[in-house]
Structure formats: structure tokens, C-alpha cells
């Protein structure tokens, strides 16, 4: 089984990659941060010698970079699972954020998933199997103060996921939108919030693994997870 994860060098993406590597899969990693990516690669190769783990850096918001990376992936085989996790969080308000904030957030959080999916999808459609997970956010469901362009981009990613789900039904390719609330990752480090108030990245990874383990006739369309005490 070939598992493909973008934004895999840390946080949710890294946890998802690790849970599949523990199952002896072939796991292909990508991320913008080359140093962190190769550190994760070495760590996973040590921790999961029974798995095949490979990595290649790429900025998925750049179409040419996404193309190069996807060609590398397809050189390993047709993906069974694609996890579109690459993204970025920048807080702000529409009336005062930088002029390029929306463009930046759309490229990082929407276009990256759009490019990678379009490049890998034909092979999955031809084989008539596969599962795509798009890592959205509670910000995909509701607006909140200081959400700005980030929330807009995550709303768009959820819309992309739902449209893709409808299109892929005849091709037996599953699509799941993962919609987590606050997870303790680098985005929250230094915030002063007690980490115990937040979910862990491993919580998200275990839910993705569970959804991917269902039989071919079942598809979890949305996974919504929130901290036990609710959103912050």
C-alpha cells in the first residue's frame, strides 16, 4: 500500500505518516521545509524499519514544484491514499491583513491540494480505487475573530473536498474532509494555552487511519473533531 502525505515534516502530517508507517506501508513524504523533512525521514526509517519511507521536498503551492513531486510519486506506483495536509496558518482580519494575505492563504491551503490531487487523480481513477483525505479545519465550518483569509481558504478547501467527493463516486475513489479544531502543533506553541486543553496530532492521525481501514463500500465523508472542552 502506498500512502502519500504532503506537509509531512511535522504536526498532523507527520503523525499521519507515522501511523501508516507503523502498518508497514510505503509512505511517501513531501514538505516545503527540506531540513525538517529529511529529519522526519531519518526518524521514521529508524522507528519503522519494516516500512518503506521516502521523501522529497516541494512547495505544493507552486504548480511546477507540485508537478515535479507528483512525477516522483508516480514513479513509485499509484497511490492508495493521498493526504493533502500542506498548508499554513496566518491570523488576521479582512479589513487590516496584508494585501496579499488571501492570495497567500489560497495558494498554501487550497491550490496545493488542488494541484496535487489533479496530478495524482488520473492514475487512481484508472485503477478505480483510492482514498483522498483533505485536512481542513473547524475554520472551514464557521467564521471566528481574526480568521480572515485563513478561514476563507479553509472554507474553500472544504468546498473542494465536497465537490471532489461527488465527482469521484463513479470511480470508486473515496474523499474525506478532515475538520479538526485546535490541535497542539507549532501554530499553538508559545501561545500560552495549556497543551492539555488542545487535541494531539496523534488524535487526528488515528481517526484518518480508522476511516482508511473501512471496507470498499463505506466512505466517511467528514471527520469533525473538537477538544473535549470545545473550541477556543
Residue 28 covered by a domain: no
Between CA 220 and CA 155 the distance in angstroms is 19
Given 48, 115, 150, 184, the catalytic residue:
150
CATH of the domain at 200: 3.40.50.720
Average the pLDDT over 38-61 and give the result. 97
Whether 115 sits among the annotated catalytic residues: the reply is no
Specify the DSSP class assigned to residue 223.
E
76 has a pLDDT exceeding 70: yes
Query: 29 - beta bridge partners?
Result: 5, 55
Task: Report how many domains make up the chain.
Answer: 1
Residue 211 covered by a domain: yes
The distance in angstroms from the start CA to the end CA of the chain is 37
pLDDT tens figures, 188-197: 666 778 888 8
Half-sphere exposure of 75 (CA within 13 A, CB side): 9
pLDDT tens figures, 90-139: 888 999 989 999 999 999 999 999 999 999 999 999 999 999 999 999 99
Between CA 19 and CA 115 the distance in angstroms is 25
Full domain range(s) for residue 144? 74-225
Name the helix (H) or strand (E) containing 134: strand 130-135
Phi-psi bin for 214: left (phi > 0), alpha (psi -120 to 50), beta?
beta
Between CA 222 and CA 212 the distance in angstroms is 12
Residue 128 covered by a domain: yes
Residue 68 covered by a domain: no
Amino acid at each position: 500500500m502506498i500512502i502519500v502525505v504532503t506537509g509531512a515534516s511535522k504536526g498532523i502530517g507527520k503523525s499521519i505518516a507515522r501511523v501508516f508507517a507503523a502498518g508497514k506501508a510505503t509512505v511517501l513524504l513531501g514538505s516545503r521545509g527540506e531540513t525538517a523533512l529529511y529529519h522526519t525521514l531519518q526518524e521514521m526509517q529508524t522507528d519503522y524499519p519494516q516500512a518503506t519511507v521516502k521523501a522529497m521536498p516541494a512547495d505544493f503551492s507552486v504548480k511546477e514544484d507540485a508537478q515535479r513531486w507528483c512525477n516522483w510519486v508516480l514513479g513509485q506506483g499509484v497511490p492508495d491514499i493521498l493526504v493533502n495536509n500542506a498548508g499554513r496558518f496566518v491570523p488576521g482580519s479582512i479589513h487590516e491583513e496584508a494585501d496579499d494575505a488571501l492570495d497567500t492563504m489560497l495558494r498554501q491551503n487550497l491550490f496545493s491540494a488542488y494541484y496535487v490531487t489533479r496530478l495524482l487523480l488520473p492514475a487512481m481513477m484508472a485503477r478505480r480505487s483510492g482514498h483522498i483525505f483533505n485536512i481542513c479545519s473547524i475554520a472551514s465550518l464557521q467564521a471566528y475573530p481574526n480568521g480572515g483569509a485563513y478561514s476563507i481558504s479553509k472554507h474553500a478547501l472544504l468546498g473542494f473536498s465536497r465537490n471532489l467527493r461527488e465527482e469521484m463516486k463513479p470511480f470508486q475513489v473515496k474523499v474525506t474532509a478532515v475538520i479538526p479544531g485546535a490541535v497542539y502543533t507549532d501554530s499553538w506553541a508559545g501561545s500560552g494555552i495549556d497543551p492539555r486543553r488542545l487535541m494531539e496530532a496523534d488524535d487526528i492521525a488515528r481517526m484518518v487511519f480508522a476511516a482508511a481501514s473501512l471496507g470498499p463500500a463505506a466512505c466517511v465523508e467528514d471527520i469533525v473533531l473538537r477538544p473535549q472542552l470545545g473550541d477556543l
